[in-house]
Amino acid sequence: MKRVKLVVAYDGTNYRGWQVQPNGITVEEVLNRELSALLSEQIVVTGASRTDSGVHSLGNVAVFDTETRMPAEKISFAVNRRLPEDIVVQDSCEVSLDWHPRYQGSRKTYEYRILNHTFRQPTRRLDTYFYHHPLDVEKMQQAAVCLEGEHDFRSFCSIHTQAENFVRTIYACKVERAGNVIVIRVTGSGFLYNMVRIIAGTLIRVGSGALAPEQIEIILNACDRSAAGPTAPAHGLTMIGIEYE
């Protein structure tokens, strides 16, 4: 028996998220099916991040246990020949049998991308959220800095979050514009359900002038979901990757 670690990139447009669900096809389901067929045994992968329906990834991490004699580093090449074009295993390697992608110390990075332009751009419709009103990136950045550090993020997670502890550490939260695209890049120790999308929705309200940057601290202290901005749409969000200690 050995444990294999995968780094998985995917376009989440056609999937009901990462985790296997009864109401639609998911990334995890496709990986389980194709790895099982490839290795001629029942494979069940465990992912580091259960991304939502429509969310993309450049580097989600998963593991599975296998009896195969195929070298771990060859599995990525073999399974990519079977996977659909919107899921690609970027790397595969063997790890110790006690290594788990959710229980190691790590830093996760997400990007939320906003197409801030008068008109839509057809080629960016799947990976950016179109917002045509002007946004003040400088004010968004001032607000983003207030989110850095260790805080109770109860105001910035879904009311359906099943967490005992709402304290998380944000190592960096940056907002930058590149042409017509505004990128919100957040790196943290971990994230609550919908946390990055709610951060994005709140920063958009700051950029539009509906909130002042200094109100972020008030929102954090409220520990109340209704104090923050809306949950930004899923398709603007991409998991960039995970760095393990």
The DSSP call for residue 104 is S
Tens digit of pLDDT for each residue in 118-153?
999 999 999 999 999 999 999 999 999 999 999 999
How many CB atoms are closer than 10 A to CB 222?
14
Looking at the annotation, which residues are catalytic? 52
**Domains defined along the chain, listed by start:** 2-95 (3.30.70.580), 106-244 (3.30.70.660)
First and final C-alpha spacing in the chain: 25
* Mean pLDDT across 198-207: 98
Q: Is pLDDT above 90 for 88? A: yes
Tens digit of pLDDT for each residue in 33-79?
999 999 999 999 999 999 999 999 999 999 999 999 999 999 999 99
Name the band, by pLDDT with cuts 50, 70 and 90, for residue 196: very high
Q: From start to end of 147-236, where are the E strands?
A: 149-152, 167-178, 181-188
Kindly state the tokens that stand for 84: 């659909």
pTM of the predicted structure, to 2 decimals: 0.95
